[in-house]
């Protein structure tokens, strides 16, 4: 079942890519207080994700903070080393928390998984963005396959 507006973000242990290397993070703790934006991408280094999705949130980091966002996080079904390399490649610095959901456990808990095995990619995260306040989802935008409209940084800024 897909997470809905009003639902709490599940508390799970996943990996965060950091300058010091992979570290375990509890999603319940990460999103517990304040206003957070979590966006998911099908994969690091993929075309739309690298050309538009992640860069949009990096570029709009200050505008998101000005609207009260305390945490911006990007999640993909990749390992923490890939997410760290992607963060370096995209000049993320400290603007976006890079979450590695290597086994897709958190993605599945959110109900935002898609099976791209037939295309050689395995289980991946649907392209989405959500806003959470104090751990509860207040807005959820899930893209149709191949689309990039409702989950962009600009679209999320308009919902804050």
- Catalytic residues, by residue number, are 49
Count the neighbouring beta carbons within 10 Å of the beta carbon of residue 2: 12
User: How many helices and strands, by DSSP H and E, does the chain display?
Assistant: 7, 9
- Name beta bridge partners: 76: 100
Candidates 57, 76, 82, 77; CA nearest to 67 is: 57
Say which residues have a Cβ less than 8 Å from residue 122's Cβ, sequence separation at least 6: 77, 115, 116
Candidates 95, 50, 104; CA nearest to 75 is: 104
């Amino acid at each position: 079942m897909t997470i809905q507006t009003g639902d709490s973000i599940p508390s799970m242990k996943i990996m965060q890519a950091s300058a010091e290397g992979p570290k375990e993070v509890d999603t319940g703790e990460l999103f517990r207080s304040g206003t957070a934006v979590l966006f998911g991408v099908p994969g690091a280094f993929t075309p739309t994700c690298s050309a538009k999705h992640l860069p949009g949130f990096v570029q709009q980091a200050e505008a998101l903070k000005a609207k009260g966002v305390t945490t911006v996080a990007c999640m993909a079904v990749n390992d923490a080393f890939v997410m760290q390399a992607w963060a370096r490649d995209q000049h993320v610095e400290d603007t976006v928390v890079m979450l590695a959901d290597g086994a897709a456990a958190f993605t599945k808990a959110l109900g935002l998984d898609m099976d791209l095995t037939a295309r050689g990619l395995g289980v991946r995260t649907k392209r989405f963005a959500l806003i959470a306040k104090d751990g509860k989802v207040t807005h959820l935008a899930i893209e149709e396959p191949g689309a990039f409209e409702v989950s962009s940084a600009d679209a999320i800024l308009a919902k804050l």
